A = this chain, B = another copy of it.
Amino acid sequence: MSKNLRLGAASIAFSQPLYIESAASIVSQKEADGPLGDLFDLVCEDPMFGCDTWESAESTLQKETATQAISKAGLSSEDIHLMFAGDLLAQTSATCFGSAGLGIPFYGLYGACSTIGEALSLGSLALTAGFGTRVLCATSSHFASAEKEFRFPLGYGNQRPFSATWTVTGSGACILSTSPPGEKAPLRSGKGCAAITGLTAGRVMDYGLRDSMNMGGCMAPAACDTIARSFSDFGRTPSDYDAVFTGDLGIIGQKILLDLLEEQNIRLSPIHKDCGILIYDDPSQDTHAGGSGCGCSAVVLASYILPKIVSGEWKRILFVPTGALLSKVSFNEGDSIPGIAHGVVIEHMEV
């Protein structure tokens, strides 16, 4: 096994790619009404997902999505050696009572809305280290559990400024494998499959912003830092990618990101996409700046991005989920809202 090249201060290029064998996405009706509505595996019309509490609803959503990713690949939970998962709730309780209940050895993560990027990163590292041959990566968010966790009781009916994002009710899960997917695997086309070929680990960036209703602005500096370092570490430019996806900067965060990168002479606008902008149609859906939450980039990856890589329409993308690191306590105590973003290079692979 050749040694993996560590390219720069915080990037790694894998000598053996990690294949994405299967992916699943489940959302609520709101996301199904958006532009990507036809692409999700399952839409649950009941926002309670048959449960009594918002937290249980999110746990059920996440566990069901993980189960779907496993069953779509024709596997059972015994075939998965490790799981990396997280969510937005305090003590990641949606995960602890969600997919963690599947009995798979489990490492819990917290990276705010960047968590699916962190899960794919650590899953890739574990497999590269030789710890098993298949890992499950999953995240979730729920509009109502997140509003309860971070902001106001829904019954208050408070006004949301136009810079606010709407937390996606959804969960995305992927199975990574050291082997290419078999011929009948869900993420394999006649032309090939999708694989992770490199990572850039995020650093916490804090520009001192304190507005929890403008999280795109809080996260944009972290996205800029990760994207610029990734280009530098891998010796690439935007022309080496078909698209660069940020997690959920929304329309305000996107503008800040593009301006910040322009200052570093990186012109990303022709290939930049943001999962938070893609998932809803504003103003018709009244979501304002876009979507957010741990589930946002995870469901867009599973439903929209991966199929285009598998088909060969896109040869290489950089996936950069972004997270705003706040709690209601830190916010109420007047702390700033630092951001973080983890970069994952995903490429089309012929098999």
Binding site for B on A (CB under 8 A): 1, 3-6, 9-10, 12, 53, 55-56, 81-82, 86, 88-93, 96-97, 100-101, 103-112, 118, 121-122, 124-126, 128-132, 149, 199, 201-204, 206, 325-330, 333, 335, 338, 340, 342
B53-A333 in contact (CB<8A): yes
Could you list some 14 contacts between A and B, CB below 8 A?
A3-B130, A12-B129, A55-B330, A82-B201, A90-B91, A90-B149, A92-B110, A93-B330, A93-B335, A106-B203, A108-B109, A109-B109, A110-B110, A122-B126
**Nearest CB in chain B to that of A340: its residue:** B106
Minimum Cβ distance to chain B for residue A149 (Å): 8
Chain B neighbourhood of A203, CB < 8 A: 103-106
B9-A97 in contact (CB<8A): no
Minimum Cβ distance to chain B for residue A325 (Å): 4
Minimum Cβ distance to chain B for residue A42 (Å): 24
Chain B neighbourhood of A335, CB < 8 A: 93, 97
Chain B neighbourhood of A86, CB < 8 A: 110
**Nearest CB in chain B to that of A131: its residue:** B12
Return the 7 tightest CB-CB contacts between A and B, nearest first: A90-B90, A4-B130, A105-B201, A10-B105, A128-B129, A91-B327, A96-B325
B329-A93 in contact (CB<8A): yes
In the complex, A53 Cα to B201 Cα: how many Å?
A: 30
**Nearest CB in chain B to that of A133: its residue:** B6
**Nearest CB in chain B to that of A55: its residue:** B329
Chain B neighbourhood of A105, CB < 8 A: 9-10, 201-203
In the complex, A327 Cα to B328 Cα: how many Å?
A: 15
Minimum Cβ distance to chain B for residue A153 (Å): 13
In the complex, A7 Cα to B34 Cα: how many Å?
A: 46
Given contacts A90-B91, A93-B327, 10 further A-B contacts (CB under 8 A): A4-B130, A6-B130, A10-B132, A93-B330, A97-B338, A100-B204, A101-B206, A101-B338, A106-B201, A106-B202
**Nearest CB in chain B to that of A200: its residue:** B105
In the complex, A132 Cα to B327 Cα: how many Å?
A: 31
B128-A130 in contact (CB<8A): yes
Partner of A204, one of B101, B110, B112: B101
Partner of A9, one of B81, B106, B326, B330: B81
**Nearest CB in chain B to that of A4: its residue:** B130
In the complex, A56 Cα to B106 Cα: how many Å?
A: 29
Partner of A327, one of B6, B90, B106, B326: B90
